[in-house]
Amino acid sequence: MKNPILLTGIIFAFLCFTHPNTSFGAEGEILKIDKNQFKTLIMDYEKNPTTWKFQGKLPVIVDFYADWCGPCRTASPILEELARKYKGKIVVYKVNTDQERELGTVFKISTIPAFLWVPAHGGPTMSSGIARTPEATKEQFEKMIQEMLLKK
């Protein structure tokens, strides 16, 4: 290939789309993912239906949400703030349960918002709902990040 800039761009794109926990956006941003991205970035539940096998390197929060959900809209800016605060330490993804019904079924999502907390080592934990105030929700999320994901 005669154009080194084009070759560099192709290599960069390949690395971004194949490396676990790549957020495709700027570091500290939340990425909305679909089923295929979930299987690549987090866990391929089709290849490993009975055993949890985390694909990534950094701990992950997956926010299962819907656009019409009021509590989901309350949680969203808090998660955006925490994604920035903990950039380089955790990754935050969002899954729209209206568009990704299979993921909702696989993880038995019955109420939203629901959150999948995935440490870098060990099994995940699912939680649902948020506190009544944004301040209390942020405090809950900070505690979960520290105790479950960063193990502090």
pLDDT tens-digit readout, 121-137: 999 999 999 988 889 99
- The pLDDT assigned to 5 comes to 54
Map out the domains of the chain as residue ranges. 21-149
Q: pTM for this structure?
A: 0.81
Give yes or no for residue 66 having a pLDDT over 50.
yes
Q: Residue 126 phi/psi, 5° resolution?
A: -105, 140
151: DSSP letter = -
The residues facing 63 across adjacent strands are: 94, 115
Query: What is the reported pLDDT for 3?
Result: 55
19-64 residue pLDDT tens: 444 444 456 789 999 999 999 999 999 999 899 999 999 999 999 9
d(CA 137, CA 64): 16
Distance of alpha carbon 51 from alpha carbon 134, whole angstroms: 35
Residues annotated as catalytic are: 69, 72
Please tell me what DSSP assigns to residue 45. T
Length of the chain, in residues: 152
Q: pLDDT category, 115, cuts 50, 70, 90?
A: very high
| Average predicted confidence (pLDDT) for the chain | 86
Whether 152 has a pLDDT exceeding 90, the answer reads no
Token pair in block for residue 143:
């505690």
Looking at the predicted structure, is the pLDDT value of residue 4 above 80? no
- Predicted local distance difference test score (pLDDT) of residue 132: 86
- pLDDT value for 27: 65
* Res 14: pLDDT: 45
Segment 77-92, tens digit of pLDDT: 999 999 999 999 999 9
Residue 137 corresponds to which tokens in the numbers above? 């929700």
What CATH topology corresponds to 21-149? Glutaredoxin (3.40.30)
pLDDT higher at 14 or 46: 46
